[in-house]
């Protein structure tokens, strides 16, 4: 779910929100990908929501995502809002290019859990040009919870505004294993 933290401010760590170029000359290095690190309150809230999902209580459709760390090999868990659009299922990272996104890219799949129901899935990242309708319908359903991560873009934004936000919010089409 990656709960919003309206008061979150970027820190100086490498995992903080970054849209400015690094000190390396622009010709040799592009800006760091967007990522909004959670603050202490939203981190604790995510822990509670993940615990509830593990124990069978889904809040507004939430589930616990598990992906294997591409370096550590350990399973990483985080609450997410699986989204269905046009008959397909999607996972979106509202906080941007987070660790679970990098792990899902590397591993190509994971598990979604609500209580004892665990569903394995494979994932394919959606190109930015194909994200507009998925982002819009996601924001229609969960905008109350995640709008602060989209820097002014909402479900009522134009297609071009959603397309401009698309690179900051990875989207994966998932296929649940039966």
Q: Is 31 within 8 Å of 42 (Cβ atoms)?
A: no
Q: How confident is the prediction along the chain (178 residues), in pLDDT tens digits per residue? A: 554 433 333 333 333 333 433 333 444 566 788 888 888 988 898 899 999 999 999 988 999 999 999 999 999 999 999 999 999 999 999 999 999 999 999 999 999 999 999 999 999 999 999 999 999 999 999 999 899 999 999 999 999 999 999 999 999 999 999 7
User: C-alpha dihedral over 104, 67, 74, 40, to 10 degrees?
Assistant: 100
Backbone phi and psi for residue 20, each to the nearest 5 degrees, phi listed first: -95, 150
Handedness of CA 127, 109, 140, 152 (dihedral sign): negative
Tokens of 76: 């990483």
The pLDDT of residue 29: 63
The pLDDT of residue 1: 53
pTM: 0.80
Tokens of 44: 């604790």
Whole-angstrom distance, CA of residue 47 vs CA of residue 38: 12
């Amino acid at each position: 779910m990656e709960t919003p933290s309206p008061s979150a401010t970027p820190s100086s760590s490498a995992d903080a929100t970054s849209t400015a170029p690094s000190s390396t000359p622009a010709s040799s290095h592009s800006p760091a990908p967007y990522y909004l690190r959670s603050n202490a309150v939203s981190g604790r809230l995510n822990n509670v929501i993940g615990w509830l999902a593990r124990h069978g209580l889904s809040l507004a459709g939430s589930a616990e995502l598990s992906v294997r760390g591409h370096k550590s090999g350990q399973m990483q868990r985080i609450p997410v809002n699986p989204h269905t659009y046009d008959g397909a299922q999607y996972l979106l990272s509202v906080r941007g290019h987070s660790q679970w996104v990098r792990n899902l890219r590397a591993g190509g799949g994971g598990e979604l859990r609500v209580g004892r129901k665990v569903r394995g899935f494979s994932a394919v990242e959606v190109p930015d040009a194909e994200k507009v309708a998925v982002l819009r319908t996601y924001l229609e359903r969960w905008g109350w919870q995640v709008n602060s991560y989209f820097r002014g873009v909402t479900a009522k934004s134009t297609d071009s505004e959603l397309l401009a936000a698309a690179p900051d919010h990875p989207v994966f089409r998932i296929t649940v294993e039966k």
